[in-house]
């Protein structure tokens, strides 16, 4: 009973200490408190390992950065966005950012924890995306990383899968076999959870809002986010592209973006004057 009480107290303490908002408040108005139980360093390490593996597989298939002009275009757009991340969280300026393009018919892009960006060529080719539209979608993905939505999803999954005993061990440095096995399992599935667990509707809304502001500050027309999601919703008819399989692309989303455009438009105008 005493041991269980200690575990419960440790878990409660961990939950309290794990509640924080990852980004500074800004024009986009995103300041929700998040449950972040998984250590940031562990999540970034797992994500970096998964990203490296992806790059190695693409190199073997000769699909990584095969079009130099396209790669340079994506990197230039991404670098403009990365230059603005300090507005939302100063520590992100020091992240080890990486940008790559993989040749694929899939309409997809992502930014893993710690700033690992990947754009699939299907997103560019099938949408005939302009620079402003690419700025919108890459900004959206960077926003997920800034808000540590992957870490948030992993934390929630850790609680559900491994329970209070493993959580308590993080605080008490428990060494039981059960706790050790749970911790090893958690580390093993961590990078998989990033891709397997869908973003919540709330997380998507946050990424929309921060991504729109980020792209405006980088000098990309925020109205391009509207045309981007309109193109996305039309692509593939009744079957949405993979990029939208867990993204609520509907009239409500577009309406929310349209409502935010006037708020971030002055940031875009100011950026264009520089």
269 vs 43, residue with greater confidence: 269
Q: Encoding tokens for residue 257?
A: 């973006």
Q: Encoding tokens for residue 265?
A: 């438009």
Distance, C-alpha 156 to centroid of its chain: 16
Alpha-helical (H) ranges within 97-236 are 121-127, 131-146, 149-172, 177-196, 201-217, 224-234
Q: Encoding tokens for residue 215?
A: 């792209």
Cα→Cα distances 1→6, 8, 9, 172, Å: 9, 10, 12, 16
Contacts of 188 (CB under 8 A, 6+ apart): none
State pLDDT tens for residues 222-260.
999 999 988 988 875 555 554 454 555 567 888 999 999
pLDDT above 90 covers a percentage of the chain that reads: 57
State pLDDT tens for residues 96-154.
999 999 999 999 999 999 999 999 999 999 999 999 999 999 999 999 999 999 888 87
Residue 86: is its pLDDT beyond 60?
yes
**Half-sphere exposure (CA, 13 Å, Cβ side) for 257?**
29
pLDDT above 70 covers a percentage of the chain that reads: 73
pLDDT at 78: 98
Candidates 57, 72, 133, 141; catalytic one: 141
Question: Average pLDDT, whole number, for the chain?
Answer: 82
152 noted as active-site residue: no
Dihedral angle over CA of 95, 71, 242, 22, nearest 10:
20
Cα→Cα distances 57→11, 52, 102, Å: 39, 9, 10
201 vs 236, residue with greater confidence: 201
pLDDT at 21: 87
Exposure string of 44-61, with b = 16+ CB inside 10 Å and e = fewer, is bbbbbebbeebbeebeee
């Amino acid at each position: 009973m005493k041991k269980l009480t200690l575990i419960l107290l440790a878990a409660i303490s961990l939950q309290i200490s794990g509640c924080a908002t990852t980004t500074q408040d800004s024009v986009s108005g995103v300041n929700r408190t998040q449950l972040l139980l998984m250590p940031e360093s562990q999540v970034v390490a797992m994500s970096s390992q998964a990203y490296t593996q992806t790059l190695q597989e693409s190199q073997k298939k000769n699909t990584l950065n095969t079009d130099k002009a396209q790669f340079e275009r994506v990197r230039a757009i991404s670098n403009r966005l990365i230059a603005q991340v300090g507005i939302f969280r100063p520590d992100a300026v020091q992240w080890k950012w990486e940008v790559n393009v993989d040749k694929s018919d899939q309409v997809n892009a992502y930014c893993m924890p710690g700033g690992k960006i990947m754009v699939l060529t299907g997103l560019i080719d099938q949408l005939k995306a302009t620079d402003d539209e690419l700025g919108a979608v890459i900004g959206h993905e960077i926003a997920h990383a800034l808000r540590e939505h992957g870490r948030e999803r992993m934390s929630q999954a850790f609680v559900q899968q491994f329970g209070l005993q493993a959580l308590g061990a993080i605080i008490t440095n428990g060494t039981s076999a059960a706790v050790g096995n749970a911790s090893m399992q958690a580390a093993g599935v961590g990078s998989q959870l990033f891709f397997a667990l869908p973003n919540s509707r709330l997380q998507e809304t946050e990424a929309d809002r921060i991504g729109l502001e980020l792209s405006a500050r980088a000098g990309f027309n925020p109205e391009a986010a509207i045309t981007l999601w309109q193109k996305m919703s039309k692509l593939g008819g009744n079957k949405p592209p993979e990029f939208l399989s867990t993204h609520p692309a509907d009239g409500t989303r577009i309406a929310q973006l349209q409502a935010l455009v006037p708020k971030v438009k002055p940031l875009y105008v100011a950026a264009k004057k520089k």
